[in-house]
């Protein structure tokens, strides 16, 4: 594989409070980012070696970090470089076209030396990462509004600034959250990793670790996939993944992406036609990959937070009912407004253990 021109840190300027990279990537939204220990990270910024995160976006391997003040976002891309367009299922709306070429020159022709061409390529990468973290959203302003509306949020926010909702690939988001049924983050992470290793395409090896593209739907829809996944320890989720993949194979991946333009209620109903997708999983997908920032997914964590701080009447209930789910979602929507799902994620992350 050719050496990359892009294995140096690229800086995206951000004010402090707009992003906390570590907390965002540990907030239970995405399960394939790997923390790189400081002693293993050779690249530094202003002499300060920070912990980094490595994962896959747009079929390329990225390393991300922030500077010492948690202000700017820095990235490095390891490849692989391709002279083909990224498949249409990876295209995002709002002007960020992941189908643009990720290579400067065809194999064997050598890299273009023009600094203008290199900068143009970096601008494409900037667009990808800004889209992924939705950096066009003014998070500090939202935190101020939520803190004014909710004294409990104001208290939590002092140690939980910079938590953003990722704009993920809907296919990966869907199947990752099918794995989340009656599960914890550690086990979900293991399952998604095994799914990628078994059915995904290997992209490249970085520092002795293999990185994979998330599996294509056709691979998960194979007739023997359910048995294979059961043998891998997926349990009943194996059937959910396999059957949902078969449905998506028939509908076409464009159907899933089209839900970004579909009103929330209809979008949720459409998603719930898939195996293993109830209200919570559907709402996670709506929030994290289908551009529905007001949606508040409710699980046991959010149920407990709600009964403890917001809706005392829920304390009499031992479990989350459908009625309670709706009550909680509507409560937070009224409290926090059009980005209620983002605010709820801050409360959710604060309730998790081992988030650093």
Q: Which residues of 73-95 are buried (b: 16+ CB within 10 A; e: fewer)?
A: bbbbbbbbbeeeebeebbbbeee
Cβ–Cβ under 8 Å, residues 72 and 10: no
**C-alpha span between 148 and 164 (Å, rounded):** 19
Other Cβ atoms within 10 Å of 38 Cβ, number: 13
Residue with tokens 């078994």: 198
Using DSSP, how many helices (H) and how many strands (E) does the chain show? 15, 7
Q: How many CB atoms lie within 10 A of CB 256?
A: 23
- 89 counts as catalytic: no
Which residue has 């747009």 as its token pair? 58
Q: Which helix (H) or strand (E) holds 124?
A: helix 115-132
Selection from 173, 162, 180 nearest residue 24 by Cα: 162
Residue whose entry in the numeric block shows the structure tokens 């601008």: 123
- Beta strand pairing call for 10-12 and 73-79: antiparallel
For residues 89 and 173, what is the distance between their CA atoms, to the nearest angstrom?
13
3-state secondary structure of 77: strand
Q: Which of 89, 280, 316, 318 is catalytic?
A: 280
Tell me the catalytic residues.
280
């Amino acid at each position: 594989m050719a050496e990359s021109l892009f294995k140096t840190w690229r800086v995206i300027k951000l004010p402090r409070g707009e992003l906390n990279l570590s907390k965002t990537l540990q907030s239970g939204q995405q399960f394939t980012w790997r923390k790189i220990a400081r002693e293993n990270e050779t690249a530094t910024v202003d002499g300060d070696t920070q912990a980094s995160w490595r994962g896959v976006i747009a079929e390329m391997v990225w390393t991300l970090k922030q500077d010492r003040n948690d202000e700017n976002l820095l990235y490095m891309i390891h490849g692989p470089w391709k002279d083909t367009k990224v498949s249409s299922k990876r295209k995002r709306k709002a002007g960020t076209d992941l189908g643009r070429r990720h290579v400067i020159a065809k194999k064997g022709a050598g890299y273009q030396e023009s600094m203008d061409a290199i900068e143009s390529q970096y601008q494409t990468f900037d667009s990808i990462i800004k889209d992924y973290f939705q950096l066009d959203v003014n998070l500090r302003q939202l935190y101020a509004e939520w803190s004014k509306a909710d004294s409990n949020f104001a208290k939590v926010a002092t140690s939980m600034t910079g938590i953003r909702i990722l704009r993920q690939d809907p296919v990966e988001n869907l199947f990752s959250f099918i794995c989340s049924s009656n599960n914890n983050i550690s086990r979900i992470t293991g399952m998604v990793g095994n799914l990628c290793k078994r059915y995904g395409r290997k992209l490249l090896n970085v520092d002795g670790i293999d990185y994979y593209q998330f599996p294509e739907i056709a691979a998960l829809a194979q007739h023997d996939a359910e048995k294979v996944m059961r043998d891998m320890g997926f349990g009943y989720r194996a059937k959910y993944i396999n059957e949902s993949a078969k449905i998506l194979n028939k509908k076409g991946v464009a159907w899933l992406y089209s839900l970004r333009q579909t009103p929330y209620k209809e979008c949720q109903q459409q998603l719930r036609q898939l195996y293993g997708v109830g209200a919570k999983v559907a709402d996670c997908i709506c929030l994290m990959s289908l551009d529905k920032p007001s949606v508040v997914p409710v699980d046991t964590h959010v149920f407990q937070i709600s009964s403890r701080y917001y809706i005392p009447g829920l304390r009499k209930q031992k479990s989350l009912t459908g009625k309670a789910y709706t009550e909680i979602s509507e409560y937070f929507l009224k409290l926090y407004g059009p980005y209620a799902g983002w605010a709820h994620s801050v409360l959710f992350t604060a309730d998790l253990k081992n988030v650093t």
